[in-house]
């Protein structure tokens, strides 16, 4: 009997933890934290592990809060879509009040953690939550321009790490912001292409032309090209302390060309398989690009 009770408690806690990961979109939050830490390593002159922990904790909290608010606002729409109908709120496993309490708590502790780093970091974190929940989320059912609006909070994490390390905003974090800003369009439009039928059930307008057509595919190609250009600008020596060696710039450029190849594949074929390949390529690109930037900063002086 005692074993059965313990098993039931274990299962309950497992479900609670699973729902917490779902309401905060743990995988997305972790990827955002990764971007922030990469930005921190680029900006820091001396690595402070306490600062990294605060950035990781505060960053996860802020992203988790944004996602929780988002799921509260979209709970009725989530219930209509296959991809989201099993989320904690539409599935009935979590009440709106509980989700709101989680969102508010994460907002408060996230801002506090980032403020301990410095006020500018907390300010950008708060701006990110505001833009995501108050502008991007309601616009998703109104206009495809929601992706443009959502690209602003989505581009903050990479630059946030630099600001956390330096307490300064200038050309360096601005460049990091622009790289991630342009990257988001091919990434999210590829995702939107794959999930277009499901998104339409919830009334979301995610593709720039509203259709899986040549116009959407062409815009994906063009934004990918801009992303490639911005990603190698630091090699020119015009972005302050943010620099990139010729070797690293070539690697980043070739990775971008790889992503552009998949964008052209989508333009030519206009099918979900090509969209999925582009989406996966974009995830690989942003992660590897950030790793190359960080590795180049610390390894290039050795050669």
How far apart are alpha carbons 147 and 180 in whole angstroms? Answer: 13
pTM: 0.89
Q: Which residue blocks in the chain are alpha helix, DSSP H? A: 2-23, 26-43, 49-73, 75-78, 96-117, 119-130, 137-139, 146-166, 171-194, 196-201, 214-232, 246-269, 272-299
The candidate with the shortest Cα–Cα distance to 114, out of 58, 30, 34, is: 58
- Count the Cβ atoms, other than its own, within 10 Å of residue 199: 22
Q: Coil, helix or strand for 265? A: helix
Fold classification of 1-169 (topology level)? Tetracycline Repressor; domain 2 (1.10.357)
Quick one: pLDDT at residue 20? 85
**Span 80-84, mean pLDDT?**
87
Count Cα neighbours of 187 within 13 Å in the Cβ-side half-sphere.
21
9: pLDDT confidence band, cut at 50, 70 and 90? low
For 181-193, the pLDDT digits (tens) are 999 999 999 999 9
The candidate with the shortest Cα–Cα distance to 192, out of 177, 178, 208, is: 208
Quick one: pLDDT at residue 8? 47
The domain limits of the chain are: 1-169, 170-303
For 10-53, the pLDDT digits (tens) are 556 777 778 888 899 989 899 999 999 999 999 999 999 999 99
């Amino acid at each position: 009997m005692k074993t059965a009770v313990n098993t039931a408690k274990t299962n309950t806690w497992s479900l609670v933890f699973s729902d917490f990961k779902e309401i905060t979109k743990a995988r997305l939050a972790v990827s955002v934290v990764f971007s922030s830490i990469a930005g921190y390593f680029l900006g820091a002159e001396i690595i402070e592990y306490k600062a990294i922990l605060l950035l990781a904790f505060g960053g996860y909290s802020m992203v988790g809060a944004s996602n929780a608010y988002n799921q509260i606002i979209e709970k009725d729409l989530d219930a209509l879509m296959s991809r989201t109908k099993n989320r904690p709120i539409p599935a009935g496993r979590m009440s709106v009040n509980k989700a709101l309490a989680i969102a508010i708590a994460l907002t408060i502790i996230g801002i506090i953690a980032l403020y301990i780093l410095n006020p500018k970091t907390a300010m950008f974190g708060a701006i990110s939550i505001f833009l995501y929940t108050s502008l991007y989320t309601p616009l998703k059912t109104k206009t495809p321009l929601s992706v443009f609006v959502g690209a602003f909070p989505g581009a903050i994490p990479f630059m946030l790490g630099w600001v956390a390390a330096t307490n300064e905003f200038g050309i360096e974090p601005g460049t990091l912001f622009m790289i991630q800003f342009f990257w988001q369009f091919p990434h999210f439009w590829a995702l939107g292409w794959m999930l277009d039928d499901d998104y339409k059930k919830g009334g979301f307008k995610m593709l720039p032309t509203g259709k899986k057509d040549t116009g959407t595919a062409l815009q994906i190609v063009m934004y990918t090209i801009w992303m490639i250009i911005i990603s190698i600008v630091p090699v020119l020596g015009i972005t302050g302390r943010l620099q990139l060696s010729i070797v690293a710039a070539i690697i980043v450029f070739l990775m971008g060309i790889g992503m552009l190849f998949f964008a052209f594949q989508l333009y030519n074929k206009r099918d979900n398989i090509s969209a999925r390949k582009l989406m996966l390529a974009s995830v690989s690109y942003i992660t590897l690009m950030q790793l190359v930037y960080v590795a180049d900063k610390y390894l290039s002086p050795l050669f």
